[in-house]
Amino acid sequence: VRAMPQTKPLVIVTRKLPDPIETRLMELFDARLNLDDHPFSRDELSAAMAEADVLVPTLTDRLDSAVMAQAGPRLKLLANFGAGTDHIDIASAHQRGLTVTNTPDVLTEDTADMTMALILAVPRRLTEGERLVREGKWTGWTPTFMMGHRLWGKRLGIIGMGRIGQAVARRARGFGMTIHYHNRRRLHESVEQGLEATYWESLDQMLARMDVISLHCPHTPATYHLLSARRLALLRPHAYLVNTARGEVIDENALVRMLSKGELAGAGLDVFEHEPAINPKLLTMDNVVLLPHLGSATLEGRVEMGEKVLINIKAFIDGHCPPDRVLP
Ligand code: DGY
């Protein structure tokens, strides 16, 4: 690890962060903030890499190997604001001697809440009903009006049983769902028992038997299009699919084709393969709830994410291993 300069390090932040975090950054470092919150162009990103001692990027910055090659001699730390690091070429960062950190843990409960909101909203037709009321089309209660499906007693299949997957499992049990999961590694028996969760070694077999599927794995080369057209076709036509992880984990075109043909009951999507671009067909579907990547978007959570960024930078500058170091 290269030594940091004696003067205050230049910390370049690529997006606007919550006010208290920006105040702390200004107090502690020579911080260059993005006050108008415009997304950095590739040129701006490259220039920041060339100049900074520490870069604070977010998921809207693509730090691929070409941008990484612009790293100047002063750059030592990429302190990402966010848990997911799929926008950063971690291997290339490490080859250049750059340390990468992220902000896990503090967004677990908020993301699980939003996931639960989608798991409720899609089968109970929440946004469809709300649109109808706003459009002045509600003519009154009837015994068969806008019936959805109950969650109680239904099977929830969680793909990726890390912190967020487990937090979703805890919530879903409260709604009377039975918990099933697929994960690279099986959970310790005591954790599995605590969650009353059933492990499926075969993802294909789990997909074919669930009522709701929720994704909680990171986007990596191994999980890109994990839900491929072939796997999506295993889902039962009455099943719902919820994604608060990363859009790239689902073959979105295949999902849209299935939804158009009625081969899936509905979907709740907080993330998209080419966000912020949305497949226009999704916009026409009533059985799909669409959110603009809001999983961790609470004031409390975003401040805590910022505090993690500060802790990671401080630890690194003080010569310690930062607590949230991301290894290749
Ligand atoms: C993350 O941190 O990776 C989320 O997707 C953004 O909140």
Q: Cite the residue boundaries of each domain of the chain with CATH code 3.40.50.720.
A: 10-106+299-317, 108-290
Ligand 1 atom at shortest distance from the alpha carbon of 82: 2
293 is catalytic: yes
In this predicted structure, what is the pLDDT of residue 3? 54
Contact 269 CB / ligand 1 (< 6 Å): no
Q: Which of 107, 216, 303 to mutate to test the pocket of ligand 1 (most atoms within 8 A of CB)?
A: 107
180 is catalytic: no
Q: How far is the CA of 243 from the centre of ligand 1 (A)?
A: 13
Q: How far is the CA of 134 from the centre of ligand 1 (A)?
A: 31
> Cα 138 to the chain's mean position, in Å?
35
Catalytic member of 87, 275, 307, 325: 275
Contact 295 CB / ligand 1 (< 6 Å): yes
Segments of 44-161 assigned E as strands: 54-56, 77-79, 99-101, 155-159
In this predicted structure, what is the pLDDT of residue 5? 58
Written as tens digits, the pLDDT of the chain (328 aa) is 455 656 899 999 999 999 999 999 999 999 999 999 999 999 999 999 999 999 999 999 999 999 999 999 999 999 999 999 999 999 999 999 999 999 999 999 999 999 999 999 999 999 999 999 999 999 999 999 999 999 999 999 999 999 999 999 999 999 999 999 999 999 999 999 999 999 999 999 999 999 999 999 999 999 999 999 999 999 999 999 999 999 999 999 999 999 999 999 999 999 999 999 999 999 999 999 999 999 999 999 999 999 999 999 999 999 999 999 999 9
Q: How far is the CA of 244 from the centre of ligand 1 (A)?
A: 9
Whether the bond between 276 and the residue before it is cis, its omega within 30 degrees of 0, is yes
Between the CA of residue 226 and those of 22, 171, 186, 237, 292, what are the distances in Å? Answer: 37, 25, 18, 19, 22
Measuring from atom 2 of ligand 1, which residue has the nearest CA? 82
* Paired tokens of 287: 């059985």
The topology (CATH level 3) of 10-106+299-317 is Rossmann fold (3.40.50)
Helices 108-121 and 126-134 pack at an angle, to 10 degrees, of 70
In this predicted structure, what is the pLDDT of residue 6? 66
User: For 108-290, CATH number?
Assistant: 3.40.50.720
How high is the ipTM of this complex?
Answer: 0.95
The pTM of the full predicted model, rounded to 2 decimals, is 0.96
Q: How far is the CA of 82 from the centre of ligand 1 (A)?
A: 5
Catalytic member of 125, 216, 231, 246: 246
Q: Which of 88, 111, 246 to mutate to test the pocket of ligand 1 (most atoms within 8 A of CB)?
A: 111
96 is catalytic: no
Distance from C-alpha of 13 to C-alpha of 308, rounded to nearest angstrom: 14
Q: How far is the CA of 264 from the centre of ligand 1 (A)?
A: 27
